[in-house]
C-alpha cells in the first residue's frame, strides 16, 4: 500500500538559512509525488510535483525537490528561507492508474522561522 | 487558473442539524472532486472521491449516510454533514482534478465546521 513518512514533526530554522524537509514514500511502481504548503486556517497550495523525467524538480517560491528512487525519498529544499515560509508542509504520493486515483498525505512538518 | 472555492469558509451549527458545504471549480471543469477532513495539527484524511454524475466512493470508515456527497455538475460538489454532532467538528477541505492538468489536485481554502 502507498504511504508517506515525514519524520520531522516540527523544524525551526533561522531566516536566511537553508532548509531541507524530509519525505520518504512507499509505493510499488513509479510514484507521483507532491509537496503542498498550508498556512494556518487555509487550504493547500501546490509547491511542486514529480511525475517523470528530471529528478530535480523546481517549484514556486524558490523551492525544489529531488526524487531519489534508491532512497525512496523526495526531500524538499530551499537555499534561503524567508519569514513568510513559516507554514505546514505536506508531502504526498498519488497514483493515477484508474478512476480510483487518490493522494495519500504524509503527517506534515511544521516549519517555524527564527528571526 | 485552476481555482477552487469553498462556501462557507466557516460555520457553527447546533447538534442534530445538517450542514451543507459547497466546493466549486471556478475556471475549469472538474472531472473528479475529493473531500478531505483535517483535525487540528494533523494531516488530511481522504473521506471520499466523487466523479460528476456518479455516486461517490467513500474511504473505509467513512459513513456515507452521514456525509452525503453530490457532484451534480462539472464545477460543483457538495458535502452535507447530516445530524451533526460535536465530534464532526473539523476542517473540511475539497480538491478538484481536471482542467489543463488532469494529474494534479487543486485545493479549496477549506471550511471550518463547529458543532455545538
Among B41, B103, B108, the residue with its CB nearest the CB of A43 is B108
B109 close contact with A: CB closer than 8 A: yes
Conformational region of residue B7, where left means phi above 0, alpha means psi within -120 to 50, and beta covers everything else = beta
Any idea how long chain B is?
116
What is the DSSP annotation of chain B? ---EEEE-SEEEE-TT--EEEEEEESSS-EEEEEEEEE-TTS-EEEEEEEETTSPPEEPTT--TTTEEEEEEETTEEEEEE-S--GGG-EEEEEEEEETTEEEEEEE---EEEEE-
pLDDT for position B99: 58
Q: Is the pLDDT of residue B81 over 90?
A: yes
- Residue B39: alpha-carbon gap to chain centroid: 14
Label residue A76 by pLDDT band (50, 70, 90).
Answer: very high
Chain B closest-CA separation from residue A48 CA (Å): 10
Label residue A99 by pLDDT band (50, 70, 90).
Answer: very low
B32 close contact with A: CB closer than 8 A: yes
Does B51 or A77 have the greater pLDDT score? A77
Per-residue model confidence as pLDDT tens digits over B21-70:
999 999 888 888 999 999 887 888 999 998 888 889 999 899 999 999 99
Label residue A101 by pLDDT band (50, 70, 90).
Answer: low
B42 close contact with A: CB closer than 8 A: yes
Chain B closest-CA separation from residue A106 CA (Å): 7
B107 close contact with A: CB closer than 8 A: yes
Among B93, B103, B105, the residue with its CB nearest the CB of A51 is B103
Label residue A96 by pLDDT band (50, 70, 90).
Answer: low
pLDDT for position B41: 78
Closest-CA residue of chain B to A107: B43
Phi, psi for residue A84 in degrees, rounded to 5: -70, -10
Among A32, A34, A106, the residue with its CB nearest the CB of B43 is A106
Amino acid at each position: 500500500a502507498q504511504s508517506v513518512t515525514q519524520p520531522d514533526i516540527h523544524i525551526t530554522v533561522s531566516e536566511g538559512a537553508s532548509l531541507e524537509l524530509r519525505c520518504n514514500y512507499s509505493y510499488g511502481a513509479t510514484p507521483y509525488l507532491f509537496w503542498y504548503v498550508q498556512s494556518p486556517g487555509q487550504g493547500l497550495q501546490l509547491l511542486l510535483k514529480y511525475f517523470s523525467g528530471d529528478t530535480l524538480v523546481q517549484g514556486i517560491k524558490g523551492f525544489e525537490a529531488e526524487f531519489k528512487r534508491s532512497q525512496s525519498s523526495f526531500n524538499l529544499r530551499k537555499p534561503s528561507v524567508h519569514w513568510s515560509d513559516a507554514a505546514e508542509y505536506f508531502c504526498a504520493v498519488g497514483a493515477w492508474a484508474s478512476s480510483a486515483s487518490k493522494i495519500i498525505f504524509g503527517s506534515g512538518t511544521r516549519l517555524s522561522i527564527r528571526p | 487558473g485552476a481555482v477552487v472555492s469553498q462556501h462557507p469558509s466557516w460555520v457553527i451549527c447546533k447538534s442534530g442539524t445538517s450542514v451543507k458545504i459547497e466546493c466549486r471549480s471556478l475556471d475549469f471543469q472538474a472531472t473528479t472532486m475529493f473531500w478531505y477532513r483535517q483535525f487540528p495539527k494533523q494531516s488530511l484524511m481522504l473521506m471520499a472521491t466523487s466523479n460528476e454524475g456518479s455516486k461517490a466512493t467513500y474511504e473505509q470508515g467513512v459513513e456515507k449516510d452521514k456525509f452525503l456527497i453530490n457532484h451534480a455538475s462539472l464545477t460543483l460538489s457538495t458535502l452535507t454533514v447530516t445530524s451533526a454532532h460535536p465530534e464532526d467538528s473539523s476542517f473540511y477541505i475539497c480538491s478538484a482534478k481536471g482542467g489543463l492538468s488532469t494529474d494534479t489536485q487543486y485545493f479549496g481554502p477549506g471550511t471550518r465546521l463547529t458543532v455545538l
